[in-house]
Amino acid sequence: MVDFVSLKENGYDVKPYFSAQGWNKYFDMLNGPIYPDLLKKFWMKARVFS
């Protein structure tokens, strides 16, 4: 998730740079809906193999 509002408030207005390159649709997808129950179950079952 990318918080362009917070970045702008902290002096980093980077959204125009990404918009100029046509990345709006990509960031809309990243900032789209999430499924907290699915993520919770996924991380409960996740294991680290080394």
List per-residue pLDDT tens for the chain, 50 residues long. Answer: 788 999 999 999 999 999 999 999 998 888 777 788 888 899 898 898 98
- Tell me the whole-structure pTM to 2 decimals: 0.54
For residue 33, is it within any domain?
Answer: yes
For residue 50, is it within any domain?
Answer: no
Q: Domain count of the chain?
A: 1
Q: Own/partner pairs for 1-6, CB < 8 Å, 24+ apart? A: 1/30, 1/31, 2/27, 2/30, 2/31
Taking the alpha carbons of 36, 39, 43, 44 in that order, is the dihedral positive or negative?
A: positive
For residue 22, is it within any domain?
Answer: yes
pLDDT for 29 = 85
For residue 15, is it within any domain?
Answer: yes
pLDDT for 50 = 84
Cα(30)–Cα(25) distance, integer angstroms: 9
3-state secondary structure of 2: coil
Cα(20)–Cα(24) distance, integer angstroms: 9
**Structural domain boundaries enclosing 39:** 4-45
